[in-house]
Amino acid sequence: MKTKILFIAFFIFQTIAVLAQDMTSLKTEALKSYKAGVNMNFDAIFETTYPKVFDIIPQEQMKTMFGQMMENEQFSIKLVEVDPGFSFGEIKKIEGKMFCLIGHNNVMAMKFKEPMNDAESMTDIFKSSMNAEKVTYDKATNTFRIEMRSTLIAVADELTKKQWKFLNKDKDNKLFSMIFDEKIVKALDL
């Protein structure tokens, strides 16, 4: 009887230790991914991105898209480094893959090149389209500061050699749904 109890206790301890290790590495990798994005370090962004994304959008094309999104004829966007205030969901194992949803603070400064005539309606657009929690406009610099909570989807599987890699959760989960099947989407409640 003692042997069974010791075995069960050992098994529970091992399970907790493995989950704790996964959470430790997840926290480290999430911070690395966040900092890569804020610094617009493309190599680091690509290193922390779930690799199947590049089957859909090749790295060079993604780099071009990021560049055009961050700087164009109408505006420029800078990501502002803040305390990410991570909130980690439960690590779920589905079909041999591990997933975790991670909420974090996301702040951007969007500077328009032409004077803004209707900053109030733009503020409303940012709040509704981006689920922004707070939007402020600085008329002197023609810049909006947009504050929101964003979600990273962490994945660790055979493809990543059990290392955590990330996808940004988009509003309709289109990218995630292109990579993972409906069973996984439902299990994660996406």
CATH, residue 9: 3.10.450
Q: Categorize the per-residue pLDDT at 116 as very low, low, confident or very high, splitting at 50, 70 and 90.
A: confident
Mean pLDDT (whole number) for 110-121 = 92
Mean pLDDT (whole number) for 73-99 = 96
The CB-side HSE value for 19 (13 A sphere, CA atoms) comes to 13
Cα 47 to chain center, whole Å? 14
Single out the residue of 87, 5, 78 nearest to residue 37, CA to CA: 78
Q: For position 141, what pLDDT does the model report?
A: 96
- Residue 2 predicted with pLDDT over 60: no
β-pairing verdict for 92-94 and 75-80: unpaired
Per-residue pLDDT of 11-59, as tens digits, reads 343 333 334 448 999 999 999 999 999 999 999 999 999 999 999 999 9
Q: For position 169, what pLDDT does the model report?
A: 92
- Residue 122 predicted with pLDDT over 60: yes
- Residue 182 predicted with pLDDT over 80: yes
Q: For position 170, what pLDDT does the model report?
A: 86
- Residue 5 predicted with pLDDT over 70: no
How far is the C-alpha of 156 from the C-alpha of 1, rounded, in Å?
37
- Residue 140 predicted with pLDDT over 60: yes
Q: For position 21, what pLDDT does the model report?
A: 45
Q: For position 171, what pLDDT does the model report?
A: 82
Q: For position 61, what pLDDT does the model report?
A: 94
Q: For position 22, what pLDDT does the model report?
A: 83
- CA angle 121-125-126, nearest 5°? 120
Q: For position 172, what pLDDT does the model report?
A: 83
Domain that holds residue 40: 2-187
Burial class (CB in 10 A: 0-12, 13-18, 19+), 155: buried
Q: How many structural domains comprise the chain?
A: 1
